[in-house]
Structure 1
Amino acid sequence: MTDRQPRRLSDRQRLAWLRLIRSDNVGPSSFRQLISRFGSADAALDALPGLTRRGGATKPLKIASVSEAERELELAERLGVRFIAVGESDYPVLLQQVDNPPPLIAVKGSPAIFQRPGVAIVGGRAATANGMRFTRSLAYDLGSAGLTIVSGLARGIDTAAHGGSIKTGTIAVFAGGLDRPYPPQNVALADDIVAQGGALVSEMPLGWSPRAIDFPRRNRLIAGLAYGLIVVEAAQRSGSLISARLAGEQGRLVFAVPGSPIDKQSAGSNGLLKDGATMVTEADDVLRAITPLIDQPMPPISTPPRRNTPPPAATDEDPALFESERDGLQDDDQSRVLESLSSVPTDIDEIVRHTQLSTAQVQLVLLELQLAGRIERHSGNAVSLLEAGV
């Protein structure tokens, strides 16, 4: 067994990675498959048009140009933002362990904070004064105990979580680009997080204004950056409950602060407790659960960042192997896969059993369909047919 050390992406590789992940219909899952099949982002970019045609796209796939990627890199440099690739030493270790982590994250601030264990705190935007006060106190106590506080910079509970941990270390995850803080009234808070040794993180392009559908993606990162996630004052239909579900799917601990049973603002939090979340009334409730999971000392946030090193080398798979896999597919194999799909998420293993194709063949067809914008991937190794592709 070889001990392969991570290496730093070259400037050329980073540009190609940025182009690939910024191209239409390329997400973390398809990015990983493309790199695995073709061995490099450059080769994957060359293959995209053919893959998209075979997937049945009705119009050409928009591939990010060199000039577009260069402009984003230049803007990042002016703003003090770095793009860190999965596998590089500054990439958050916990985030790297989730299914299909973002290939590139934009970071402003000190990546040294990623080396410290984190816990996420999320909750309602229309928070009560008591909820805000409790959250600030909890974040302060957990931060003083050596934990980094992760949240989403939203109004209410998120703001209180960052505020309580601003001096001990906090990470704010954006739903849009790092040059598009949301809400606007928290711009000063974002600047203070960076000034105090914390970090701002996003997987979205610079210049991207957040939309409603972008917040679940952000919530996935919030959960992925932490050992556990604490929910405070979440209503029954709250984005915080999405964060809790994502945390559970990632194998993270889920905590909730109890509220009055007649308070609708805590109905979601109380529901989590009924479903088995750990009750939190003080910082020790969290520390007792998380401390056994931490297998290394907690360095102070003033620790200088380690040299940024790149991911392990891409697979040495010969691109010709992909062509042989493609040649091994019959004309009706894509139809067989499509017939096994519906708008309801279906497990890929079930598709393999239904079609009697190999896993590699099914994954290849699904990759082509995804790049053509005809399917959507879900957590738990499932895919569904998009209505537009029916």
Structure 2
Amino acid sequence: MTHDLFGPAPILPPKSADETIRWLQLYRSRRVGPATFYRLMTEHGSAGAALLALPEVARTSGVKNYACCDPMLAEQEYRAGMRAGFSLICAGSPHYPIGFARLSEAPPLFWAHGRLEFLSRPLLSIVGARNASSLGTRMARKLADDLGRAGFVVVSGLARGVDAAAHLGALPHGTIAVVAGGVDVVYPAENTDLAANISRDGLVISEQPLGLQPQAPHFPQRNRLISGLAKATIVIEAALKSGSLITARNAGDQGRDVLVVPGHPFDGRSGGCNALIRDGATLVRNADDVIEAIGTAKNERQPLSKQIESHETLSGNPIKETEYKPTVHPHQQKDVQSHIMALLSINPIAEDQLIRDLDLPSATVSAKLLDLELEGAIMRQSGGLLSRVI
């Protein structure tokens, strides 16, 4: 397959619904990934011609009794997406993002639900631990909020923990959720309300078929899109063997900047972050550090503090820092101790902040804290601070 400097050789997007369905049929065919799709399109000139040639191509490669995707299934998926109000974005079309166009494994097409104009805005991705600490989730939300105020659209994966916090912080300004299943499937289910809000005020995208429930192999595929879509990837709390670390490595391989929030050496959730910094990733503490590293959304290196100061002057109102309150579901309420331990880290936080994050009665939390303290699992420090014993 012939490639240009950045990615696959350019091909013309489909010009009709029938041609779009043939693109969908080709990409949904067995063993046809991005590289094979572009090679077939380059060699045969159209999706229709590629579909005709594909069984013979498969046979010469040693695959017997090969059959392309059923054209009825491709048409059903396309019609269902149109009825639901989704957009099918194909390579070479006006809304196809430049970040994807520069990938060697660029998705030939993907479904989108929401505000397509965000695809042409300056994009930054934020990823991190699903079992994020209270400090980690607040950091993600505050950083996303500040970067959104600075003109960036924040990209993440709609997972629990850091992803959800980043989407929440960026939602008033613009956020894109790249999901591992179908664009109409919410995973995990606890983010159903957040996904609905992003579909309305932001954008949800996926290269997977409609209705697909995500499985383990789909998440690495999704991760390459999170990093590829953005100018830089910011990592907050990532263990040494985690999906967030895969996303960071993807970003480096794709020629994107990798920015990392450091963590305590004794906190396993920070092992990957600290390793990335050791290996040359840029350490960042706040949005000013991010903008210093990559420039502003308008390529003007103005510190964020000055932008916020200007906003306060124009509005007459100070900007209030938002707080992250993770949803506590019934199964978590039954095991409040586990939830407390998930939110605590080696870095101390105030007890009243922990109670707000848990969104549970203070008496319930205080009783469980006492149990954990007696077990030696947590430690109280002066000033009403709590930390996890490592």
Matches of residues 223-242 of structure 1 in structure 2 within 5 Å?
223-242=227-246
Distance in 1 between residues matched to 2:42 and 2:52, nearest whole Å: 14
| Contact in 2 for aligned 1:32/1:100 (Cα 8 Å) | no
Matched, 1:218 2:215: no
State the match for 2:123 in structure 1: 118
Structure 2: which amino acid aligns with 1:291? G
Q: What TM-score, normalized by structure 2, do the two folds share?
A: 0.72
1:293 Cα offset (Å):
8.7
Distance in 1 between residues matched to 2:26 and 2:141, nearest whole Å: 40
Matched, 1:280 2:287: no
| Contact in 2 for aligned 1:139/1:165 (Cα 8 Å) | yes
Structure 1: which amino acid aligns with 2:124? V
State the match for 2:365 in structure 1: none
1:160-199 residue CA offsets vs partner (Å, 9 max, x unmatched):
0000001100000010111211101111111101222x10
1:11 Cα offset (Å):
1.2
Out of 186, 191, 196, the position equivalent to 1:191 is 196
| Contact in 1 for aligned 2:182/2:210 (Cα 8 Å) | yes
| Contact in 1 for aligned 2:14/2:20 (Cα 8 Å) | no
| Contact in 1 for aligned 2:150/2:297 (Cα 8 Å) | no
Matched, 1:36 2:37: no
Out of 84, 104, 110, the position equivalent to 2:109 is 104
Matches of residues 2-151 of structure 1 in structure 2 within 5 Å?
9-57=15-63, 59-151=64-156
| Contact in 1 for aligned 2:125/2:234 (Cα 8 Å) | yes
Q: Which has more radius of gyration?
A: 2
1:355-386 residue CA offsets vs partner (Å, 9 max, x unmatched):
xxxxxxxxxxxxxxxxxxxxxxxxxxxxxxxx
Distance in 1 between residues matched to 2:208 and 2:248, nearest whole Å: 22
Distance in 1 between residues matched to 2:264 and 2:67, nearest whole Å: 51
Runs of 4+ deviating beyond 3 Å: 4-8, 292-296
1:6 Cα offset (Å):
6.7
| Contact in 2 for aligned 1:6/1:89 (Cα 8 Å) | no
Local SS of the residue matching 1:121: strand
Comparing 8-17 and 259-268, the one that deviates more: 8-17
How many residue pairs match? The answer is 291
1:314-366 residue CA offsets vs partner (Å, 9 max, x unmatched):
xxxxxxxxxxxxxxxxxxxxxxxxxxxxxxxxxxxxxxxxxxxxxxxxxxxxx
Task: Tell which has more relative contact order, 1 or 2 (C-alpha 8 A, sep 6+).
Answer: 1
Backbone CA RMSD of aligned residues: 1.7
CA distance change for structure 1 residues 156 and 35 in 2, over 3 Å: closer, same or farther? same
Distance in 2 between residues matched to 1:294 and 1:101, nearest whole Å: 26
Which structure 2 residue ranges, 5 or more long, are not aligned?
1-9, 301-390
1:100 Cα offset (Å):
2.7
Which structure 1 residue ranges, 5 or more long, are not aligned?
297-390
Local SS of the residue matching 1:18: helix
| Contact in 1 for aligned 2:132/2:162 (Cα 8 Å) | yes
1:94 Cα offset (Å):
1.2
Structure 2: which amino acid aligns with 1:60? N
Distance in 1 between residues matched to 2:135 and 2:141, nearest whole Å: 10
Distance in 2 between residues matched to 1:11 and 1:281, nearest whole Å: 48
Q: What TM-score, normalized by structure 1, do the two folds share?
A: 0.72
Distance in 2 between residues matched to 1:40 and 1:7, nearest whole Å: 10
CA distance change for structure 1 residues 39 and 5 in 2, over 3 Å: closer, same or farther? closer
1:61 Cα offset (Å):
2.1
Question: Percent identical across equivalent pairs?
Answer: 47
Distance in 2 between residues matched to 1:104 and 1:62, nearest whole Å: 21
Matches of residues 197-212 of structure 1 in structure 2 within 5 Å?
198-212=202-216
| Contact in 1 for aligned 2:241/2:272 (Cα 8 Å) | yes
Structure 1: which amino acid aligns with 2:43? R
